[in-house]
Each structure stands twice: as structure tokens, then as C-alpha cells.
Amino acid sequence: MPYPTLSGLPEWIRVKVPKHEKAKPLRQELNRIGIHTVCQSARCPNIGECFSRRTATFMILGETCTRNCGFCAIKTGRGEPVDPFEPIKVATMVRKLNLRHAVITSVTRDDLPDEGANQFARTIRAIKSMNPTTTVEVLTPDFHARRELVATVLDAKPDVYNHNVETVPRLQKWVRPQSSYERSLKVLEIVKELAPTMPTKSGLMVGLGETTDEVVQVLRELRAVGCDIVTIGQYLQPTRKHLPVARYVAPEEFAELERIGYELGFKYVFSGPFVRSSYLADIAFENAKSLLSKE
């Protein structure tokens, strides 16, 4: 499929117009302090909306990933030195923005002995120390499903643990060749084993060539490991070098996947063309927390 122009996109994709001017002050502030966001690095289509709301998903451990996924616009290569001041920088920005809910993610750091787990823990603790009422969501790499590294993050007491499966098993070797679907499920399983009441979350993209039956099977397997929240969004090719879009999934199909997700027992299902793993994460968390508290 050729790289799409705006006129070649379906109507439900064209309607998303980023509010770049409203986003400019926050973008400048983040750059000045030296904090990376996945919003910028991964070319998220929601960047205008989120930045204009003064919300962001903070990306720690630098901006260079040691893996090379077919869908992701984050640059790859040798990891950068870990910034010992990064946790306090992020915590300071959370306070400056007066965030109720902060999302912390990272590039994958296979080059580090702890794969970055301790930096996650330090960042969570810094945020909670400076912002006692702010809830913290982590979106971690797979840590090779090493139990001790997942435990390191959990010991810092995040409020939500998120790890994405990204796509269906059949497409994993093209979408994220250095990762594993089974390993990702194992991460979510470990979280529930170590912290049974911790809300867990995962996400996947559609439009890469998967079938609806395959997506539904992924939803079943996520529920089987206790996943509480799921996000489903349209894959959009960030550059010509990345995997092409196989098809644009209609809003009606997203609505049907949402219905199936709730039928399977998820506490919150966020399904739509522009949904991303941390998009409106505060809303997903509040809804899921309310239902979990009633169990």
C-alpha cells in the first residue's frame, strides 16, 4: 500500500486535526527541562489534543530504543547513559502541570543489567513524594519477563501496571521481532501473581493484517491472565520506512470490539481509531478502579 496522503485517508481518520499552536508552550517547556515524551518521539496522532490539555506520557531512560519494531517511530540504537536526575525532573513537571494521573513509559533498554526497572521505581517514588495525590501508571517494556525486575517496579507502588501485546501472535515477528507475545502475557501474569489487586492494562493495534477472530482471541488470553483494562487503536504508518497499513478499521468495528471486550469481563475497554495505550489514561483508570473496588 502506498504511503497515504491526507486525501487518501478515510473520513474518520481525516477528522483528527492536531492543535499544534496550543501545544507549543508545553512542548517548549518539556524541551527546556530535557524531558522526553512518547507523544513526540512516537509521533502520536493525539499529541495536539493531549498537549493542549497539558497532559503527556513521560518517556524515561533516554530516547533511543535498543529494539527495532516495525511500527514504532522512536529512534533505535545504543542506549544513552541513565540520567540520575531524570526522576526528579519528571516529578517536578508532574507538579508543575498539577497532574491527577501521570503515565511513565520508556524505551526498551536491553543494554542495562536491570533493563531500566530501577529507574522506573525511582521515578514512581519521586512523583509520589512530590505529588502525594497523583496516581501513577507505568507502561513498561517486557523486561524479558524477569520476575525480579517486575517486582522492582511493583515495590514502588504504581497505581496501574501497563504492558502492551501490540498485535496478534501471527504478526509478532514482523511487528516487533525482538519481542514475544507469550513473554508479554507472562509479564501481565507476573504482576497479578505479585500484586493481585494491582489493575493491569494492555493494548494492541489493528489494521496490520490481523483478523477479527485473532483480535478476539487476544482479548480472551489477556483476560485469562487477569488483565483489567484494554486499549485497541488503528495502526498508522509513521514513515515510509515502517510497516504499511493493511486496512483502516471502521468505527463500527471498533465499537463491536469494545462490546466483546466488556462481554469478556474487562473493567474498561477503550476502542477507537485514535486510541493509544496512554490516551486519556486517567479516565480508563478511574472507571476501572471504580469497578474493581466493588469486587
H/E element, 233? strand 229-234
pLDDT at 275 over 80: yes
Distance, CA of 275 to CA of 234 (rounded, Å): 7
Q: How far is CA 111 from CA 64, 66, 82, in A?
A: 11, 7, 11
Mean pLDDT score, 115-126: 98
CA distance 221 to 211: 16
Residue 67 identity (one-letter amino acid) = R
Query: Residue 51: what pLDDT?
Result: 52
What's the pLDDT band for 3 if we cut at 50, 70, 90?
Answer: very low
| pLDDT on residue 34 | 65
Q: What is the crossing angle of helices 20-33 and 86-97, to 10°?
A: 140
- pLDDT computed for residue 2 by the predictor: 44
pLDDT score at 97: 79
Q: pTM of the predicted model, to two decimals?
A: 0.88
Highest mean pLDDT among 7-16, 154-163, 272-281: 154-163
Q: What confidence score (pLDDT) does residue 139 get?
A: 96
Q: Which three cell numbers stand for residue 219?
A: 482479548
What are the pLDDT digits (tens) for 58-86?
A: 999 988 888 877 667 677 888 889 999 99
Local confidence band at 195 (pLDDT 50, 70, 90 cut-offs): very high
Determine what percent of the chain is predicted with pLDDT higher than 70. 82
**Across 105-128, average pLDDT:** 96
Question: Phi and psi of 286, rounded to 5°?
Answer: -60, -40
Residue 44 in this model has a pLDDT that exceeds 70: no
What H or E segment, with its residue span, contains residue 103? strand 101-106
6-292: what CATH class? Answer: alpha beta
Closest CA to 207 of 263, 257, 278: 257
